[in-house]
Chain A
Amino acid sequence: KQEVTQIPAALSVPEGENLVLNCSFTDSAIYNLQWFRQDPGKGLTSLLLIQSSQREQTSGRLNASLDKSSGRSTLYIAASQPGDSATYLCAVDLGGGATNKLIFGTGTLLAVQP
């Protein structure tokens, strides 16, 4: 059974700091891995999607890496801003036939202090 773990559960940093969020999964047979952002009272917004054959993806100040063999992914946020404050969720897509079941971690609550 695939399990996804995110560490730390919560993180508080001063504005301008670079930071890393961690995600680990137990079964390396994944189709892709995605990082989402969730703001209070709102749905999820997809940030980055890494295919299983890729090592990393970048979008602006965000960089996500994937190491399937070790079952790990990291989300790097450069020069953090107060607007980055949100819950960050990683999810693995098990793929397989007609379904793409996303298995989510419990998230990291990020607070960027001005």
Chain B
Amino acid sequence: EAGVAQSPRYKIIEKRQSVAFWCNPISGHATLYWYQQILGQGPKLLIQFQNNGVVDDSQLPKDRFSAERLKGVDSTLKIQPAKLEDSAVYLCASSPRHQETQYFGPGTRLLVL
């Protein structure tokens, strides 16, 4: 069974630029999550999708972050414009249904200069 795929693996941008991350969850998994992990901290949930609907985006900085999950499969997370404090690893995870074990991708490491 293929795992959660993410791309790119690394990205370096300058502040005020925009960036997008892509996630392909495990086939058949209805629930998809995006987390932000700042160096030295645990991951923090940004947004949770159930199929293609948002069920929790309470911690997503909506003035600069946006996410979508078209057709209930792949998802993209966008930052526009980026700030220095957005430097982090962005992790995507999926689960068959909510409240079940989450499977994580390798993450995208973002550095904002």
Of A4, A99, A105, most B-chain CB atoms within 10 Å:
A99
Of B43, B56, B104, most A-chain CB atoms within 10 Å:
B43
Task: Check: B44 CB closer than 8 A to any chain A CB.
Answer: yes
Contact status of A101 and B56, CB under 8 A, knowing A43-B104, A46-B103: yes
Measured between beta carbons, the chain A residues less than 8 angstroms from B101 are 34, 46, 49
Interface residues on B, range: 20 to 34
Q: How near does chain B come to A47, taking the closest CB pair, in angstroms?
A: 10
**Residue of A at shortest CB range from B3?**
A43
Task: Check: A31 CB closer than 8 A to any chain B CB.
Answer: yes
Out of B41, B98, B102, B107, name the residue touching A42 (CB < 8 Å): B107
Task: Check: B55 CB closer than 8 A to any chain A CB.
Answer: yes
Of A34, A45, A101, most B-chain CB atoms within 10 Å:
A101
The interface bits of chain A over 29-68 (1 if a CB of B lies within 8 angstroms of the residue's CB, else 0) are 0011010100001111110010000000000000000000
Measured between beta carbons, the chain A residues less than 8 angstroms from B40 are 106
In the complex the two chains form, what is the Cα distance from A31 to B44 in whole Å? 18
A106 touches B48 (CB 8 A): no
B43 touches A101 (CB 8 A): no
In the complex the two chains form, what is the Cα distance from A105 to B41 in whole Å? 7
Q: How near does chain B come to A2, taking the closest CB pair, in angstroms?
A: 12
In the complex the two chains form, what is the Cα distance from A93 to B33 in whole Å? 14
In the complex the two chains form, what is the Cα distance from A46 to B41 in whole Å? 17
Task: Check: A16 CB closer than 8 A to any chain B CB.
Answer: no
Among B31-60, those with CB < 8 Å from A are 40-45, 48, 50, 55-56
The interface bits of chain A over 14-28 (1 if a CB of B lies within 8 angstroms of the residue's CB, else 0) are 000000000000000
**Pairs A–B under 8 Å by Cβ, sample size 26:** A31-B99, A41-B106, A41-B107, A41-B109, A42-B106, A42-B107, A43-B91, A43-B93, A43-B104, A43-B105, A44-B43, A44-B91, A44-B104, A46-B102, A98-B50, A98-B56, A98-B98, A99-B55, A101-B48, A101-B56, A102-B102, A104-B42, A105-B42, A106-B40, A106-B41, A106-B42
Residues of A within 8 A of B (CB): 4, 31-32, 34, 36, 41-46, 49, 89, 91, 93, 95, 98-102, 104-107
